[in-house]
């Protein structure tokens, strides 16, 4: 699936499935990603330490897997957005956006690349272009590009109605850790205030036919919010899923080993990754 197909499917009410890549580094990972049955992956460069070359190489491998590579940039800045798009990404996830200006900066860099400066400002804020030919050319050139905006704090939530007025947003992302911490209830994903915030995001976005993706780390939470209206599934990460697989499978093996030897079987516990 490519960026254009993802946009069409979610706009039509369909569901797309993806995960975060925090561990993957080189193009060889494309072979593994191809076997996971996903529509897209988000390559993290906000919390994961990846350089520009690593991201470009990883994108090159993933694109051969018919999976759309989207990059989470470190901050909502055109500087990082354009680097990700130039590296071959099908889209960008801009974290922790709180203002219309931040969102316009990101949208302009995703949707109207390579316009810059005053010209891209006019395009985003006024819908004005150097010419009709330039507008049509840029729209076609960037038709595959996906723009995801992170709403991860109470100020962002309060400003969401204004943010959603910016044309060119293809999805709204919620980071549960950041959002719950901003609400004063860190990681309490069952707290009424957190659930109320997510329902507000989904309601506001649904009215604009903009899909919502919430980066939950458990199957149960992902299923719950899928039923509540999230249509852009972003579940867990490569590192966490690998950890969970080793925990489940080796845990079962070690329990039998403990029965044989009389030792105590230990559980490695939940992944401690924060992403």
Q: How many CA atoms lie within 13 A of 133 on its CB side?
A: 0
Q: What is the pLDDT of residue 195?
A: 98
What does the H/E/C string look like for 82-102? Answer: HHHHHCCCCEEEECCCCCHHH
Look at phi and psi of residue 18 and say left if phi exceeds 0, alpha if psi is from -120 to 50, else beta: beta
- Sign, CA dihedral 85-241-216-50, equals negative
Q: What is the pLDDT of residue 162?
A: 98
Query: Along the 275 residues of the chain, how does pLDDT read in single tens digits?
Result: 999 999 999 999 999 999 999 999 889 999 999 999 999 999 999 999 888 999 999 999 998 889 999 999 999 999 999 999 999 999 999 999 999 999 999 999 999 999 999 999 999 999 999 999 999 999 999 999 999 999 999 999 999 999 999 999 999 999 999 999 999 999 999 999 999 999 999 999 999 999 999 999 999 999 999 999 999 999 999 999 999 999 999 999 999 999 999 998 888 998 888 78
Domains and CATH numbers, the chain: 3-261 (3.20.20.60)
Q: What is the pLDDT of residue 273?
A: 87
d(Cα 235, Cα 267) in Å, to the nearest integer?
23
Kindly report the pTM of this predicted structure.
0.94
Q: What is the pLDDT of residue 275?
A: 80
Q: How many CB atoms lie within 10 A of CB 259?
A: 10
Q: What is the pLDDT of residue 96?
A: 97
Task: Look at strands 232-237 and 40-44 and give their pairing.
Answer: unpaired
Answer whether 126's CB lies under 8 Å from 206's CB: no
- Torsion angle, alpha carbons of 227, 274, 190, 9, to 10: -10
Answer whether 81's CB lies under 8 Å from 102's CB: no
Q: What is the DSSP code (8-state) at residue 167? A: T
Buried b (16+ CB within 10 A) or exposed e, 210-229: bbbbbbbbeeebbebbbeee
Answer whether 149's CB lies under 8 Å from 94's CB: yes
Q: How many CA atoms lie within 13 A of 235 on its CB side?
A: 21
Q: What is the pLDDT of residue 184?
A: 98
Answer whether 78's CB lies under 8 Å from 108's CB: yes
């Amino acid at each position: 699936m490519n960026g254009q197909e993802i946009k069409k499917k979610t706009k039509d009410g369909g569901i797309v499935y993806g995960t975060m890549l925090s561990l993957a580094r080189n193009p060889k990972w494309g072979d593994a990603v191809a076997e996971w049955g996903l529509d897209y992956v988000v390559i993290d460069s906000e919390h994961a330490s990846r350089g520009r070359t690593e991201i470009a190489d990883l994108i090159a491998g993933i694109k051969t897997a018919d999976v759309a590579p989207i990059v989470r940039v470190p901050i909502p800045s055109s500087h990082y957005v354009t680097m990700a798009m130039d590296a071959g990404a099908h889209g960008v996830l801009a974290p922790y956006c709180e203002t219309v200006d931040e969102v316009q900066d990101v949208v302009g860099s995703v949707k109207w690349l390579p316009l810059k400066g005053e010209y891209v400002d006019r395009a985003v804020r006024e819908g004005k272009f150097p010419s009709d030919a330039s507008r049509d050319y840029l729209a076609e050139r960037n038709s595959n590009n996906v723009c995801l905006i992170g709403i991860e704090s109470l100020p962002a939530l309060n400003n969401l109605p204004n943010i959603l007025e910016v044309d060119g947003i293809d999805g709204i992302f919620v980071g549960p850790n950041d959002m719950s911490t901003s609400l004063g209830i860190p990681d309490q994903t069952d707290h009424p205030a957190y659930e109320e915030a997510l329902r507000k995001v989904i309601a506001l976005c649904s009215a604009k036919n903009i899909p919502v993706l919430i980066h939950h780390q458990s199957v149960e939470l992902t299923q719950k919010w899928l039923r509540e209206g999230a249509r852009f599934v972003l579940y867990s990460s490569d590192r966490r899923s690998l950890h969970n697989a080793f925990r489940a499978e080796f845990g079962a093996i070690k329990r039998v080993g403990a029965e044989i030897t009389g030792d105590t079987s230990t559980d490695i516990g939940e992944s401690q990754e924060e992403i």
